[in-house]
Amino acid sequence: MRYIVTGGAGFIGSGLADRLAADGHEVLIVDNLSSGRRENIEHLLGNPYVTFVEGSVTNLDLLLDLSLGADGIFHQAAIASVPRSVAAPLETNEVNVTGTLNLLWAAKECGVPAVVAASTSAIYGDEPVFPKEESMPPAPLSPYAVSKLAGEYYGRVFSDLYGVRTVFLRYFNVYGPRQDPNSDYAAVIPKFITRLIEGRPPIIYGDGEQTRDFIFVADVVRANIMAMESSASGVFNIAGGSRISLNQLASILSAITGVNRQPVYDQPRPGDVRDSVAAISRAREAFGFTPRYTLEEGLRETVAWFRKMVG
């Protein structure tokens, strides 16, 4: 099969490209390297079935050129940060909404049968109902969440009107190797790990009792491929199905790293959701997905990778 992976030099996208190439597929990676990193895919570029194109999903002409003959598109390209979206809502809209619309239009025009796209649990907001089910009314708290919800709506319309099968996977808190800890908007686990490895205390925004539903990146990659290979369409939660507080997370990582540093607490960040946990039965019923990694297994692999990188 010939697959396109947008954002394919990024954290999740590069894992997808790895897996697809290992399974013998032709892979076309599209990334503008604004947050993706060439080193994530350098090892793939000698493969004659892997092509890298540096470009953006905001470039419709490029997407139309690349989509001809594709069997499916994995859409991972995005500005994937709540704080960044609060600081830059126009840029977030351009990439996440217009970019997704461009990609769907290219799929429709070029006869690509299926698009599997990244969405987010941030769409649920802070509604005090747990676990979060796909049928719940959305309550976005940030431009990022709004932009992802708009992408889902476009996906449903393109499926209904134009026959492009679309699957939008609402990722909860994804973590694992290759996640960038250096950005101002980096996710909590890579920041906690790198600070502990360096002997510094983790920083928690808020009281640390806010909860998250974490899922290892390898499970997210599996979910994408299972969704593409199925006949499913619609919106699906992709998560571990249980929640843990950030205080508990800091304690577990302290034990795994062997570095005992008490967290430092700072002001909560605007747009952040307080609590999150997913119902994951819909993905299991639609395309057989259940996570394989426990949180501790995934954290141990992640810490080992960061130790190797930090040296």
Q: Where in the sequence numbering do the catalytic residues fall? A: 144
Do residues 206 and 272 touch, judged by C-beta distance below 8 A? yes
Give buried/exposed letters for 11-30 (b at 16+ CB in 10 A, else e): bbbbbbbbbbbeeebbbbbb
Maximum Cα interatomic distance, the chain, rounded to a whole number of Å:
56
Neighbour tally for 53: CB within 10 Å = 14
The CA distance from 219 to 210, in Å, is 23
Contacts of 248 (CB under 8 A, 6+ apart): none
DSSP-assigned letters across all residues of 28-49: EEEE-SSSS-GGGTGGGTTSTT
Ranges of beta strands (E only) in 12-156 are 26-31, 50-54, 72-75, 114-120
Q: Which H or E element spans position 203?
A: strand 203-205
DSSP letter assigned to residue 267: P
What kind and span of H or E run contains 2? strand 2-6
Six-digit token string for 244: 């843990």
On whether the CB atoms of residues 12 and 79 are closer than 8 A, the answer is: no
Query: Is the Cα torsion angle 45, 47, 48, 50 positive or negative in sign?
Result: negative
Handedness of CA 309, 301, 183, 4 (dihedral sign): positive
